[in-house]
């Protein structure tokens, strides 16, 4: 028969794994939220500002955001953009005029937004590892 | 909004350097050093690559 304390110890890794997945999803949807849930205030603010600045400036420069497509490059762009979480979903409302990549600034904007997405994915991994206690 | 090449590069380098410093280092002093180092490295490499491409720019 398994003692309650022993059962608790056995279940702990599962609980941590579930928490880590929840934290990762929250951190993906709102940059920094994963760290906020883990009470890592400083990192949460820095990641939100870094990802948010890149995403908003990218859109203000009238960069392009990609939609799901079977074209390999479009798909890569879409996955990178999707990494920015909520910023991707509200991108149409942040810059009403839409993309304009005929100017260099518009092209920079496209890269800024994709970088915001990839950077947020790195932050999500960081939050996940902290929740799994593999990282401080 | 419009930024010239240099302003866009400065903003990009700053945001990425600070985020990388927080992702990879834990102590404040280490973070500041790393962020400064990464920021300067971004700028130097970008300027160096710009000059390397200069002969094939026309």
Neighbours of A132 (CB within 10 A): 16
B23 touches chain A (CB under 8 A): yes
Owning domain of residue B28 = 10-56
| Nearest-by-Cβ selection for A53 from B3, B8, B15 | B15
Q: What is the pLDDT of residue A21?
A: 95
Q: What is the pLDDT of residue A11?
A: 65
A2 Cβ contact partners less than 8 Å away, ≥ 6 residues apart = A10
Q: Give chain B's domain count.
A: 1
Owning domain of residue A68 = 10-131
On whether residue B2 sits in a domain, the answer given is: no
On whether residue B16 sits in a domain, the answer given is: yes
| pLDDT score of A1 more than 60 | no
On whether residue A5 sits in a domain, the answer given is: no
| pLDDT score of B22 more than 90 | yes
Q: What is the pLDDT of residue A10?
A: 64
User: Distance, in angstroms, between B36 CA and closest chain A CA?
Assistant: 16
Q: What is the pLDDT of residue A77?
A: 94
On whether residue A14 sits in a domain, the answer given is: yes
% of chain A exceeding 70 in pLDDT: 91
On whether residue B20 sits in a domain, the answer given is: yes
CA dihedral of A97, A98, A101, A102, whole degrees rounded to 10: -40
On whether residue A51 sits in a domain, the answer given is: yes
CB A51 within 8 A of CB A31: yes
Instruction: Report ipTM (2 d.p.).
Output: 0.88
Instruction: Please answer yes or no on whether A119 and B22 come within 8 Å at the CB atom.
Output: no
B32 touches chain A (CB under 8 A): no
| pLDDT score of B42 more than 70 | yes
| Residues of B in Cβ contact (< 8 Å) with A123 | 19, 23
- 3-state secondary structure at position A90: coil
B6 touches chain A (CB under 8 A): no
User: Which residues 64-103 in chain A show a CB within 8 A of chain B?
Assistant: none
Instruction: Please answer yes or no on whether A47 and B16 come within 8 Å at the CB atom.
Output: no
On whether residue B1 sits in a domain, the answer given is: no
Q: Give chain A's domain count.
A: 1
- Per-residue pLDDT tens digits for A29-70: 999 999 999 999 999 999 999 999 999 999 999 998 999 888
pLDDT higher at A40 or A97: A40
Instruction: Please answer yes or no on whether A54 and B3 come within 8 Å at the CB atom.
Output: no
Confidence band for B19, pLDDT divided at 50, 70 and 90: very high
On whether residue A3 sits in a domain, the answer given is: no
Residue A37 C-alpha from the chain's centroid: 14
Phi-psi region of A67 (alpha: psi -120 to 50; beta: other; left: phi over 0): beta
On whether residue B38 sits in a domain, the answer given is: yes
Confidence band for A131, pLDDT divided at 50, 70 and 90: very high
């Amino acid at each position: 028969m398994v003692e309650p304390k022993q059962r608790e110890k056995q279940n702990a890794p599962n609980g941590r794994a579930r928490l880590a997945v929840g934290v990762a999803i929250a951190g993906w949807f709102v940059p920094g939220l994963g760290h906020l849930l883990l009470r890592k205030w400083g990192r949460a603010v820095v990641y939100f500002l870094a990802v948010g600045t890149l995403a908003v400036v990218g859109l203000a420069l009238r960069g392009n955001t990609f939609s799901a497509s079977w074209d390999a490059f479009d798909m890569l762009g879409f996955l990178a953009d999707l990494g920015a979480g909520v910023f991707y979903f509200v991108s149409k409302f942040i810059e009403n005029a839409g993309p304009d990549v005929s100017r260099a600034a518009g092209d920079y904007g496209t890269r800024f937004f994709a970088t915001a997405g990839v950077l947020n994915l790195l932050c999500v991994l960081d939050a996940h590892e902290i929740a799994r206690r593999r990282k401080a | 909004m419009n930024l010239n090449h240099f302003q866009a590069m400065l903003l990009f380098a700053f945001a990425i350097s600070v985020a990388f410093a927080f992702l990879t280092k834990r102590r404040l002093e280490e973070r500041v050093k790393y962020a400064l180092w990464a920021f300067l490295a971004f700028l130097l490499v970008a300027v160096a690559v710009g000059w390397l491409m200069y002969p094939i720019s026309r």
